[in-house]
Amino acid sequence: MLTAEENERLTRVGPGTPMGNLMRRYWQPIAAMSQLEDRATRPIRLLGENLVLYKDRRGRLGLIGDQCPHRKVNMVYGIPEDEGLRCPYHGWLFNHEGRCLEQPYEKAEDPFEAFKDKVTTTAYPVQELGGLVFAYLGPEPAPLLPRWDLLVWDNVYRDIGMAVLPCNYLQIMENSVDPVHAEWLHGHFANYVWEQLGQTDRIRPIPAHQMIGFDEFEYGIIKRRILEGQTEDDVNWKLGHPLVFPNLLKVGGFQYRVPIDDYQTLHIWYYTYAPPAGTHVPENEPIPFYQVPVPELSEGGLPDWSYLDFTAGQDIVMWYTQGAIADRTSESLGRSDKGLILYRQQLMDNIAKVERGEDPMNVFRDPGENEYLRLPTEESEGTRRMGATGQLGRMASSAGAAGGATKFSPVLNRGDGATAVTAEEVLTGD
């Protein structure tokens, strides 16, 4: 149980808040590059700030404040130019550093007018890696963008799913260190969903957790489990899937939980898939983007079972029905919640580091250290079965094994004969 003050400290992410200051020390993913194919601008809300992501005529990215400092119109309607984004209202041009490069009428009236040099807008650095666009909102000098393994693998197919969830990031991240929920939510409750949908052929026996454990490692927390019929010699106990501090889970693929503000979270599912043996994936292979539906209660406040037949949907309703910000002052934690307590302590410890002027965990500044950041992955009979199925052959990092958004994967559903067992058919947890 947390005090009201501790809950505020861990959940508020706006500018100047303790958690907001911590989250601003990291590069946060904000969009897929493929989302900029059909339009040059996208509205972005990140850590309580309203911004506009744009791609100029040369293909370079910029992230600036969403209001023109002249008359406060929204720059999402901006016109891309070779050197930046031009306000549609009076033509003022801003570059990726937030500098005003041109004010057409002011220059026409006085060619030597220097007013533009006094005008700036909010601007933050952005980078692309692995098909994702990352932004850094913290103090300079910016750290290196972490080169986590799945982002830099070559010769793999990729796809990127996203959903905006109506709740705080923390209750989503706490799910990442809660192994027991997999047994009940994605096991017994999933069986109940199949029953409600009349798909009783999908009901399966669910092994119970006998023991769970957690280890801190250099990048975060690894959870471990022993299920019925397993022993401490089983691979699941030796190697669990990691929570990568502060807001990334590797389970099959990557799941980023990016705070939009105190009450909303951008959830990103990032999967990689190995091609059939002997096949080469072109370097310029487009990385498709897809929207993951957010299950809602039907009219009358009743569950809509048709949106609960995938693990991500089951997770989502558990997260947001805790409230926009979960009230941790009245919770009753038990033995299954050891991981939550450990993660909360990591957050508090790293907030304290930032307040002391230190770099928190997973801030990288040495290029040699950042060349390739390998993360462990949970292995199980379920993930091995999945890795052996389908025309795609081995699925890199067992992307279909858990996480539950692969039901909507454009790669796995593109109609070229590739098949894979879906996350809903194997209990591996998320």
| pLDDT on residue 402 | 44
* Residue 337 CB contacts under 8 Å (≥ 6 apart), including other chains: 178
| pLDDT on residue 401 | 38
In which element (H, E) is residue 267 found? strand 265-273
Bridge partners, residue 120, by sequence: 99
| pLDDT on residue 315 | 96
Give the C-alpha separation, 250 to 272, whole Å: 12
In which element (H, E) is residue 170 found? helix 169-175
* Helix, coil or strand: residue 12: coil
Give the C-alpha separation, 361 to 27, whole Å: 13
Q: Look at residues 248, 261, 299 and name the one whose alpha carbon lies nearest to residue 166.
A: 261
* Helix, coil or strand: residue 270: strand
| pLDDT on residue 357 | 97
| pLDDT on residue 425 | 27
| pLDDT on residue 236 | 61
Residue 328's Cα: distance from chain center in Å? 23
* Cβ(84)–Cβ(40) below 8 Å: no
| pLDDT on residue 37 | 93
| pLDDT on residue 415 | 61
Q: Exposure string (b/e) for 186-208, b if CB count within 10 Å is 16 or more?
A: bbebbbebbeeeeeeeeeeebee
- The runs of H, that is alpha helices, within 247-380 are 311-320, 338-355
| pLDDT on residue 340 | 96
Q: What is the pLDDT of residues 319-378, one digit of tens each?
A: 999 999 999 999 999 999 999 999 999 999 999 999 999 999 999 999 999 999 999 876
| pLDDT on residue 376 | 86
* Residue 156 CB contacts under 8 Å (≥ 6 apart), including other chains: 272, 273, 274, 275, 281, 396
In the chain, what are the domains?
A: 35-136 (2.102.10.10), 149-425 (3.90.380)
User: Which parts of the chain have pLDDT scores under 50?
Assistant: 380-402, 417-430
Could you give the angle at the alpha carbon of 347 between the alpha carbons of 343 and 350, nearest 5°? 135
Q: Look at residues 405, 197, 200, 202 and name the one whose alpha carbon lies nearest to residue 304.
A: 197
27-to-4, 192, 200 alpha-carbon distances in Å: 29, 40, 44
Q: Look at residues 365, 362, 357, 366 and name the one whose alpha carbon lies nearest to residue 347.
A: 362
* Helix, coil or strand: residue 335: helix
Could you give the angle at the alpha carbon of 385 between the alpha carbons of 384 and 387, nearest 5°? 65
What amino acid is encoded at 242 in this protein?
Answer: P
Could you give the angle at the alpha carbon of 256 between the alpha carbons of 396 and 129, nearest 5°? 65
